[in-house]
Amino acid sequence: MGERVGFIGLGIMGRPMARNLLAAGFPLTVHSRGAGPVDELVAEGATRGEDPAGVAASSDVVITMLPDTSDVEAVLLGPGGVLEGAQPGSIVIDMSSIDPAPTRAMHAALAARDVAMLDAPVSGGEKGAIDGALSIMVGGDEAVLARVRPILEALGTTIVHVGPSGSGQVCKACNQLVVAATIEAVAEALLLAERSGVDGARVREALLGGFAGSKILEVHGQRMLDDGFDPGFRIRLHRKDARIVEEAAAATRTPIPSFSIVAEQLQKAVDAGDGDRDHAALFAELVREARSAT
C-alpha cells in the first residue's frame, strides 16, 4: 500500500475519488485547475502539486480524471505535463472518458519513456464515486493492472480488464451507446403509449418482466413517467460521450445507424436548453417534437 498516488482533476467525480484514496491511506498529491478543490483536499491531508509535472515527480502512480481528450493530452504531454516529471517505471491511469485512438497514442508516447499507462474509464456517476462503488473498465497491460489494483479497489467495486490499451475507452463508448439508445427507445415507447391514451405506468410494468426489460426501463422509464429530470447524468455529458462513440465508429468504419439518430436527439436536447437535465429528458425532447408537429 506504499504507492504514492497523484491525482489530477478534482471535478465532480475526481474530488470524491481523491477523498477515497486518502481514506484508504494512500499518500496523495493533488492538482486541479481550480484552487478551491485543491485547498479542500490539502486540508484533508493531501499534498499540493504545483503542476502535473510536479505531481508526477512525487508519485509512483498518477491518476487523471479530466473532461475531454484534449485536456488529457495537455496534462500528460503538454508543457509542465506529467511526462516532464514522471519517473521511469511509474504508471499513469487515465480514468477520464475519452477517445480510444488518442488514448493508444498517449500510451505509446509514455511507453517510449518507460512510463506505463492504463485507460480506466468508469461508470456509476457521482454517487458511485462518493461510495467508492464505481465500475472500472480497464485497457492496458494486465501486469500493470495487477500492480495498481489495490488503488482501483479504493475507488470501485467492479474492475474488469477488457483488453489492451484503448479497450477500456472502447468499452465505455459501447456502454454509452447502449445506455443512450435504450433511453431513446423507452422514451419513444412511453410517448407512443401516452399519445395512444394508454397509461405509461401500466406499459412499463407489463414490459419490465419480458424481453423489453432493462435497467433503463426501470430507472429512466420511471423518471419519464414522473417528469423527474434532475441529474443523474447530464445530457451535455452524454452528448460529449456520443461524440466519442461517433469518432470511434468513424475510425473503425462501423455502421451505427440507430445511434447516429440518438446522438442527434441528444444534440437537439442540448440546443433546446436541456443540457443540464438528466439524460432521461430525451423524453422531453420527443414531447417538444410531438407538440411542434401538431
Catalytic residues: 172
Q: 249: which strand partners?
A: none
Q: Which of 135, 147, 225, 231 binds a second copy (CB under 8 A)?
A: 135
The single residue listed with the C-alpha cell 493530452 is 73
DSSP label at residue 50: S
- Closest alpha carbon to 11 in 107, 118, 117, 125: 125
Using the rule CB under 8 A, is 258 a contact of a second copy?
A: yes
d(CA 27, CA 43): 14
Using the rule CB under 8 A, is 153 a contact of a second copy?
A: no
Using the rule CB under 8 A, is 173 a contact of a second copy?
A: yes
Stretch that binds a second copy, among 9-17, 23-31, 43-51, 179-187 (CB under 8 A): 179-187
Using the rule CB under 8 A, is 88 a contact of a second copy?
A: no
Q: Measured between alpha carbons, how far is residue 20 from residues 126, 152, 192 in Å?
A: 13, 10, 44
Kindly give the pairing relationship between strand 134-139 and strand 122-123. antiparallel
Stretch that binds a second copy, among 13-21, 41-49, 141-149, 258-266 (CB under 8 A): 258-266
Q: Closer CB to a second copy, residue 63 or residue 159?
A: 159
Q: Which of 108, 158, 226, 271 binds a second copy (CB under 8 A)?
A: 158
The residues in 189-218 that bind a second copy, with binding defined as CB under 8 A, are 189-193, 195-199, 202-203, 205-207, 209-217
Using the rule CB under 8 A, is 175 a contact of a second copy?
A: yes
Q: Which of 129, 170, 224, 242 binds a second copy (CB under 8 A)?
A: 170
Q: Which of 23, 111, 146, 261 binds a second copy (CB under 8 A)?
A: 261
Using the rule CB under 8 A, is 256 a contact of a second copy?
A: yes
Residues across the chain: 294
Is residue 284 within 8 A of residue 277, CB to CB? The reply is yes
The single residue listed with the C-alpha cell 423524453 is 283
Stretch that binds a second copy, among 28-36, 48-56, 154-162, 270-278 (CB under 8 A): 154-162
Angle at 97 between CA 93 and CA 103, to 5 degrees: 60
Kindly give the pairing relationship between strand 156-163 and strand 134-139. parallel
Grid cell, residue 165, equals 490499451
CB atoms within 10 A of CB 19: 22
Using the rule CB under 8 A, is 97 a contact of a second copy?
A: no
Query: Residues 35-43: contacts with CB within 8 Å, 24+ apart?
Result: 37/10, 37/11, 38/10, 40/10, 40/15, 41/10, 41/15
Query: To the nearest whole angstrom, how small is the minimum distance from the Cβ of residue 131 to a second copy?
Result: 14
Q: Which of 100, 132, 140, 156 binds a second copy (CB under 8 A)?
A: 100
Q: Which of 72, 95, 262, 270 binds a second copy (CB under 8 A)?
A: 262
